[in-house]
Amino acid sequence: MSSETYLEPAGPTSHSAAERLQVAGLYSPSDAVLSVRDLHVRFNSENGVVHAVRGVDFDLMPGKTLGIVGESGSGKSVTSLAIMGLLPPTAEIAGSVRLMGRELLGLNDKAMCAYRGNDIAMVFQDPLSSLTPVFTVGAQITEALTIHNPTMSKQAKEARAVELLAMVGIPSPKDRLKAFPHEFSGGMRQRVMIAIAIANNPRVLIADEPTTALDVTIQAQVLEVLQAAQEETGAAVVMITHDLGVVAGIADDIMVMYAGKPVETGQVDDIYYDPRMPYTMGLLGAVPRVDVAEKTSLVPIDGIPPNLIYTPTGCSFAPRCPLVSDACRAGEPELLPAGGKAGHKAACIKSDALGGDADVLEIFSAPPVPLSRFDAIPRGERATVLELKDVRKHFPLTKGALLKRRIGTVKAVDGLSFDIREGECFSIVGESGSGKTTTLLEIMEFHKDQDGEVVIGGLSNKEATTGKVRSAMRRELQMVFQDPTGALDPRFTVYEVLAEPLQNAGLGNRAIKKRIMELMKLVGLQPDHVNRFPNQFSGGQRQRVGIARALAVNPKLVVLDEPVSALDVSVQAGVINLLDQLRAELGLSYLMVAHDLSVVRHISNRVAVMYLGKIVEIGEVDRVFDNPRHPYTRALLSAIPVPDPQLERTRERIILKGDLPSPLDAPKGCNFATRCPVFEALPAAKQEKCLTLEPPLEFVPASSAAQALEAGRLPSLDQQFACFFPDGELDEDMLVVHETAEPHAP
């Protein structure tokens, strides 16, 4: 990666390498492009002054990437906004922010405008709301160019806009200039945002959770674009994220923030392989790994971050730290060199004791892996709690206001069959739009006129004609929602929330009270919190209330709709452990829908991969994840970032082209053909087969070696997939490997 610099805004003309070097000579590459010193941000709130950022220092070298990691509320976004000068005027900012030697703090809005979008640019989290809906994409890119290059001609600007869109990988960029933001998908809009950000070749690019709102496959695409853009412009990147996996592969340095302060900084490898601060260790241990089959509990970090209205007297992490001693509470530790590596600093008085061999699980006293009584029984002998037989849900797509013409069908769920046995966790994964949620709704809203059969606890939806049968089925089946805040009636106290299903089941008041106390203990909440309203709890606690409500009537099957995606990493670990433990203790079965494959791998026994309403691969979780057969599964798995920098840098990635096809032009044969990396590489004759025939879901034929090994065992393994050419070569255009490494199958 080059480390050149432009002092002048670059023109629209293409730059030769020599030209860049010449410009770079004006500015010493060893200096930091952005240096932040002792940055403090305070906000006034009703309850007092919130000290949101408390002394952030960093130097950003040209062409380097700094990852800022932390939970929500740790001050990472506020730091970036303070650098950009985008905080409201009520915020009190102190310290120093120097961009190429020039002080930015204290500049008024007008003066900042000369830098913003020119030398320093930002990519925001939510691509859906960061583009103006009433202007075309081209107009918005041109606007960024016009402001900083008033003399640029109209043709030049248009040419540059086309060049930018092509750079971020938008097909037929010239035509797309005239498109409006709503004509783009989320991933495409984020690309446009990146294009706008790099329009003037910024020296610093700040990306605030740029991929959080996107699907994994799209996340992989966008990260790729971001890296390409960085290479193209030589900008230094500040990457803000809560996902340790995302930054592992692309960051050079990492800064871990907690309670408004950096608690550990260093090179990426030092942070991941030799963390010296308990918080960092906890964060790393709290993330489930998609690439590890061995089952360990996750590291839960108890408690919540401190309220920054009160100045911490000791180490801000002390109340949650398992290694806390009196010395920790005596004063806030400084960020001091730790671990012996250059640049590695940690704010912990015990950092020297926390060598590389310290066991995170032990330190945080992670609970042992719970064992279910069902684990010992072979799957085939366990009772079935839920069975779906050929369930379909098609929505007609109509057009016209007065006379509605049917112009197509959205096959949201198209012939789904699977079963869930007792004590088992079954997960459905796939991109958004693949029909996961519709499947859940079909199960939850079972009725007799459904297309297909839903059997819950031995009762079929076809028999659910009387209220009695329906409520018997309902009692077997409960749901935990994605957003814990929305799923709890804000006007109900926790007691009322938990009492509702019990009252509905016809329990008496005394029995309800007793059961609620049991439930509170079961999910790890203090029983005296029953009188609180949901808004007095943290997100993780709210989700626990949601789980308690689902468990109130002792269901056999709990449907989990993205149960942890709305939670912070450290809290997420606690909830996942709880789910795991409940499954073992109560013999529950789970049906989980999730887009986070790491979480799926951690808690599921079986998994189904869905694509456009169909299951493309289904089977035991370790088999599917370790030996994926369908190209889509392979792509999904390779797109998941892993919190392991070395692995992440050398990993082979399948970057799928484009987004889910619109249901209108859904392919006739294999649904996945339009994006399939195998299909791309196939000879035309074989492609014909993919395009015309629909591949059925078939068992994995045991390979000859495996057959020899497992002679005499069951003929088929618990893995089915729907692809004609699972062993086909992958198209090279869709493969991305960042550093040369031994090629290995994902």
591 binds other proteins (CB under 8 A): no
Residue 530 binding other proteins, by CB under 8 A: yes
Q: Which is nearer to other proteins, 311 or 526 (CB)?
A: 526
Alpha helix positions (H), 492-538: 494-504, 509-522
Q: How far is the CB of 567 from other proteins (least distance, A)?
A: 10
SS3 681: helix
* Residue with Cβ nearer other proteins (519 or 660): 519
Nearer to other proteins, 141 or 473 (CB): 473
What is the smallest separation between the CB atom of 372 and other proteins, expressed in angstroms? 16
Least CB distance to other proteins at residue 643 (A): 22
Interaction between residue 627 and other proteins (CB under 8 A): no
Site for other proteins in 448-507 (CB under 8 A): 470-471, 474-475, 477-479, 481-483, 486-493, 495-496, 500-501, 504
- Residues 261-300 binding other proteins (CB under 8 A) are 300
> Minimum Å distance from CB 505 to other proteins?
9
- The CA distances from residue 650 to 194, 406, 645, 716, in Å, are 25, 49, 9, 34
Residue 620 is a binding residue for other proteins (CB under 8 A): no
- Cα angle 602, 603, 605 (rounded to 5 degrees) comes to 105
Query: Which C-beta is closer to other proteins: that of 462 or that of 470?
Result: 470
Q: For other proteins, which residue of 269, 302, 387, 620 counts as binding (CB under 8 A)?
A: 302
Q: What residues contact residue 649 under an 8 Å CB cut-off, 6+ apart? A: 249, 738, 739
Which residues lie below 8 Å from residue 59, measured CB to CB, with a gap of 6+? 32, 34, 35, 36
User: If 0-12 CB within 10 Å is exposed, 13-18 middle and 19+ buried, where does residue 535 land?
Assistant: exposed
String of contacts with other proteins for each residue 558-587, x by CB under 8 A: -------------x--x--xx--x------
Tokens 């704010």 correspond to: 347
> For other proteins, which residue of 104, 237, 308, 346 counts as binding (CB under 8 A)?
308
**Run of H or E residues at 248:** helix 244-250
Q: Which is nearer to other proteins, 173 or 300 (CB)?
A: 300
Q: Which of 183-191, 208-216, 407-415, 534-542 is the region at the interface with other proteins (rule: CB under 8 A)?
A: 534-542
Q: Pick the closer one to other proteins by CB: 197 or 530.
A: 530
7 Cβ contact list (under 8 Å, min separation 6): 23, 26, 27
Residue 521 sits in the site that holds other proteins (CB under 8 A): yes
The yes or no reply on residue 401 touching other proteins (CB under 8 A) is no
* Nearest to other proteins of 99, 413 (CB atom): 413
Instruction: Name the nearest CA neighbour of 569 among 52, 131, 212.
Output: 212
SS3 263: strand
- Residues in 152-211 that interact with other proteins by CB under 8 A: none
Q: Is 437 in the site for other proteins (CB under 8 A)?
A: no
Q: Which of 23, 159, 324, 444 binds other proteins (CB under 8 A)?
A: 444
- Burial class for 709, CB neighbours closer than 10 Å (0-12, 13-18, 19+): exposed
By CB under 8 A, tell whether 527 contacts other proteins.
yes
- Cα–Cα distances (Å) from 269 to 312, 517, 644, in that order, read 30, 46, 8
612 is an interface residue for other proteins by CB under 8 A: no
> Which C-beta is closer to other proteins: that of 144 or that of 308?
308
Query: CA 695 to CA 178: how far, in whole Å?
Result: 39
Helical spans, DSSP H, in 70-215: 76-84, 109-113, 137-148, 154-167, 173-176, 186-197
Strand 719-721 relative to strand 120-123, pairing: unpaired
360 binds other proteins (CB under 8 A): no
Q: How many CA atoms lie within 13 A of 214 on its CB side?
A: 29
State both tokens at 169.
Answer: 């990988």
Least Å from the CB of residue 554 to other proteins: 13
CA 588 to chain centre: 26
The verdict on 50 binding other proteins (CB under 8 A) reads yes
Q: Is 528 in the site for other proteins (CB under 8 A)?
A: yes
Please give the residue ranges that form the binding site for other proteins (CB under 8 A). 45-48, 50, 73, 300, 302-305, 307-309, 367, 444-445, 470-471, 474-475, 477-479, 481-483, 486-493, 495-496, 500-501, 504, 513-514, 517, 521, 523-533, 535-538, 540-541, 544, 546, 549, 553, 571, 574, 577-578, 581
